């Protein structure tokens, strides 16, 4: 399989690339010009360049999204606030989907968070606080102005709306909706709280609404790769965690 990856140096995106290459897949990875790789050989060593294509450019350049997707059969989007500004998620999701239409790629897997979209009514208070604390910091003047946005959950929800409805919510991005000329075969994964740890393969993936749970980025990446390899149900959202209480 040839897979395009959007998420920069994010933990899930980085883990996914390791898993995908180890499984024998070709990966095309979109990075910003300023993203610094820990291993520079990834861009120059033939050992890696035969299975990995790195495309660098501005997040506003649709041509770079198209270059990343060219020749691939599927795309994964996995943003995190540490490596991609949260208020850019819906914008970049739209760019990915527009580029997918141009390059005739229909399979899309998106990693957001438990608590986004329809799962928000089943979120425990500790997780809600963790994912909303950035807004409190902004209101108290403890966060820089460029991080001004509502909660991370609101940004993930806005991103999901682009995937499900092709719409850009008001206040997120000017410019209407994404065309639906080509059917998008999407699946959304909503991991619980991310914690350090190896891939164990012992997580649960459920369409049911769940409360709580945690999981490592390595296991999120493992689940994402299996979702693409096994053609996980299209048009559905799955909460994933090691343990969770089903609603």
Residue that is written with structure tokens 């809600």 in the block = 128
How confident is the prediction along the chain (247 residues), in pLDDT tens digits per residue? 999 999 999 999 999 999 999 999 999 999 999 998 877 767 767 777 788 999 999 999 999 999 999 999 999 999 998 888 888 899 999 999 999 999 999 999 999 998 887 766 666 656 656 556 655 554 555 554 444 445 788 889 999 999 998 765 444 444 445 544 458 999 999 998 889 999 999 998 888 766 667 899 999 999 999 999 987 789 999 989 887 554 4
For residue 190, give the 3-state DSSP assignment: strand
**What are the domain boundaries of the chain?**
2-246
Q: What's the rounded Cα separation, in Å, for the pair 65 and 96?
A: 6
Class of domain 2-246: alpha beta
Q: To the nearest 10°, the Cα dihedral for 16, 17, 20, 26?
A: 150
* DSSP 8-state code for residue 194: E
* DSSP 8-state code for residue 80: -
């Amino acid at each position: 399989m040839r897979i395009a990856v959007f998420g920069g140096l994010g933990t899930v995106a980085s883990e996914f690339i390791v898993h995908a290459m180890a499984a024998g897949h070709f990966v095309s990875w979109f990075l910003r010009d300023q993203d610094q790789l820990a291993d520079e050989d990834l861009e120059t060593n033939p050992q890696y360049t035969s299975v990995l294509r790195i495309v660098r450019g501005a997040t506003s350049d649709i041509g770079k999204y198209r270059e990343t997707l060219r020749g691939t059969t599927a795309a994964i989007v996995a943003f995190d606030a540490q490596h991609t500004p949260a208020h850019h998620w819906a914008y970049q999701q739209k760019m990915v989907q527009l580029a997918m239409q141009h390059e005739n790629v229909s399979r899309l897997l998106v990693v957001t968070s438990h608590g986004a979209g329809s799962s928000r009514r089943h979120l425990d208070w500790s997780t809600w606080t963790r994912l909303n604390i950035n807004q409190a910091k902004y209101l108290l003047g403890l966060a820089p102005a460029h991080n001004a946005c509502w909660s991370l959950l609101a940004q993930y929800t806005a991103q999901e709306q682009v995937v499900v409805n092709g719409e850009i919510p008001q206040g997120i991005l000017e410019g209407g909706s994404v065309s639906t000329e080509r059917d998008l075969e999407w699946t959304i994964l909503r991991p619980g709280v991310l914690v350090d740890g190896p891939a164990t393969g012992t997580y649960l993936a459920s369409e049911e609404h769940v409360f709580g749970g945690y999981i490592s980025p390595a296991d999120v990446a493992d689940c994402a790769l299996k979702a693409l390899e096994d053609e996980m149900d299209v048009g559905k959202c799955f909460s994933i965690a090691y343990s969770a209480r089903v609603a």
